[in-house]
Each structure stands twice: as structure tokens, then as C-alpha cells.
Amino acid sequence: MSPEPSSVVPTIPYGASVPENVDIDAILRDLQTQGVHGPAEQVPALKAVVADAKAKGHDIKVVVLTQKQPKFTYYRDVALTLQPKTGGTVIVLGPDSVGSSGPEFARVVQEEAAQNLTLTDPPGAARQMVEQLTAPQTNWSVITILLTLAVLAAAVGARWFSKRRPAVHATGAVAPEVAQATPGEPDVGADKAADED
């Protein structure tokens, strides 16, 4: 029994990054005019997500592909193809995966934001992802620099304290130039010098 025509995914030519069933030109036109591309019934909710992001100073474009792609990387490839032409951050949502591209957010932040989205509700998934992208992030560069400085300060402090301790010879005896009498103990060297007089 052959699969239904609507569930057949076209084969992808070797080396192609965007599947033949994705009309980049139509998507680009929609993104340039309204900032979103997707099924008509989802467009108002998608526009609301884009408008909310814009109100917070973020340029986000959202694409919803209704057809499952043969490789999950194609969603990101579509975003990579669109982003240079639209600017901002392009989010491509599909039935089984998400892809994104944009200069505003680090790749690791984009990948983390794409985790655990409710893909059965594309406008909701878009809102989830935008909220994750725009949430305050931990600045690991600053933390790394501070930890490095703390370790360096500890090393310098340890070295400084080790220089202040009395020098000890390999035999374990304290070097004469730093030997001192402990309070309450007689100074043997001073007693010998007095006996010799």
C-alpha cells in the first residue's frame, strides 16, 4: 500500500539545503510585508508574537512550515537562507523541529530556546521561543573572567605567604639567618656567646 500523496515528502537533491517543497520567495514576501509566514488561521497570533518582541526591541520573524521535512536540519537551513534577506532573527517552526538564525542571540541561546517547545501549537511555540530568547541570560564570559581572577589572586596570596614563612633546609633545620627564639624559651645562641666571654 502506498502512502497518501499529502504525506509523501519530496526527495532532496544532493547538496540542496532548502527542500523543493519550501517556496522561499513566497515566504520572503510574507516576512517582508508582515513579519510572519504560516497558515492563515495562525497569522494573527504569530503577528502578535512578533509585535510583542518588537515592543521589547527585538526584530523577530516567524515562519511556520506545515509539512514535515525529511531532515531536522532543513528548518535551520530555511532560516539561514531567509535571514540575510530579512534581517533580525528568523524562527522556522515545523511539525517536528525548529530552526533559527540571527545575529542578536548566540547560537547556544537559540538552541536552548528551541528545546521543549509545543510544536502542535505554532503560535504558542513561537511565543515560548521568543520568551526564552529574550529572558535574561547568564553571561558565562564574565563568570569565567571572575573565576580566573579569583584563582590568580589565590595563587599570588599563597605564594606571598609561602615567602614569609621561615626558610627550611632540606634537612628540616631552620636557616640560621631566620632562626629566632620562641618566647618563653632560652636563646641558646645567646647563652653560648655569653659563656665564651
> Are residue 47 and residue 129 in the same domain, yes or no?
yes
Q: What per-residue confidence (pLDDT) applies to 17?
A: 76
Name the grid cell of 64: 511556520
- 116, 134, 152 — which closes off a domain? 134
Of 40-44, 90-94, 117-121, which gets the smallest average pLDDT?
Answer: 117-121
> Are residue 114 and residue 29 in the same domain, yes or no?
yes
pTM exceeding the 0.85 threshold for the entire prediction:
no
Q: For residue 71, give the CATH number of its domain.
A: 3.10.310
Region of 25 on the Ramachandran plot (φ > 0 left; ψ -120 to 50 alpha; else beta):
alpha
Q: Taking 70 as the threshold, does the pLDDT of residue 123 lie above it?
A: yes
> Are residue 88 and residue 172 in the same domain, yes or no?
no
Q: What per-residue confidence (pLDDT) applies to 88?
A: 94
Average per-residue pLDDT for the chain? 81
Residue 89 lies in a domain: yes
| Phi, psi for 174 (deg, rounded to 5) | -75, 135
Taking alpha carbons only, the member of 196, 170, 169, 193 closest to residue 181 is 193
Residue 37 lies in a domain: yes
Residue 1 lies in a domain: no
Q: Taking 60 as the threshold, does the pLDDT of residue 110 lie above it?
A: yes
Give the residue numbers spanning the domain of 127: 8-134
Q: What per-residue confidence (pLDDT) applies to 140?
A: 75
Q: Taking 50 as the threshold, does the pLDDT of residue 11 lie above it?
A: no
Q: Which residue has the higher pLDDT, 184 or 10?
A: 184
> Are residue 99 and residue 16 in the same domain, yes or no?
yes
What is the count of structural domains for the chain?
A: 2
Name the grid cell of 83: 535571514
Residue 187 lies in a domain: yes
pLDDT band, very low/low/confident/very high, at 197 (cuts 50, 70, 90)? low
Residue 119 and residue 125 in contact, taking contact as beta carbons nearer than 8 Å: yes
Q: Taking 90 as the threshold, does the pLDDT of residue 9 lie above it?
A: no
- 134, 163, 178 — which closes off a domain? 134
> Are residue 88 and residue 180 in the same domain, yes or no?
no
> Are residue 97 and residue 179 in the same domain, yes or no?
no
Q: Taking 70 as the threshold, does the pLDDT of residue 75 lie above it?
A: yes
> Are residue 146 and residue 128 in the same domain, yes or no?
no
Q: Which residue has the higher pLDDT, 105 or 184?
A: 105
Q: What per-residue confidence (pLDDT) applies to 192?
A: 54
> Are residue 129 and residue 174 in the same domain, yes or no?
no
Q: Taking 50 as the threshold, does the pLDDT of residue 188 lie above it?
A: yes
Residue 2 lies in a domain: no
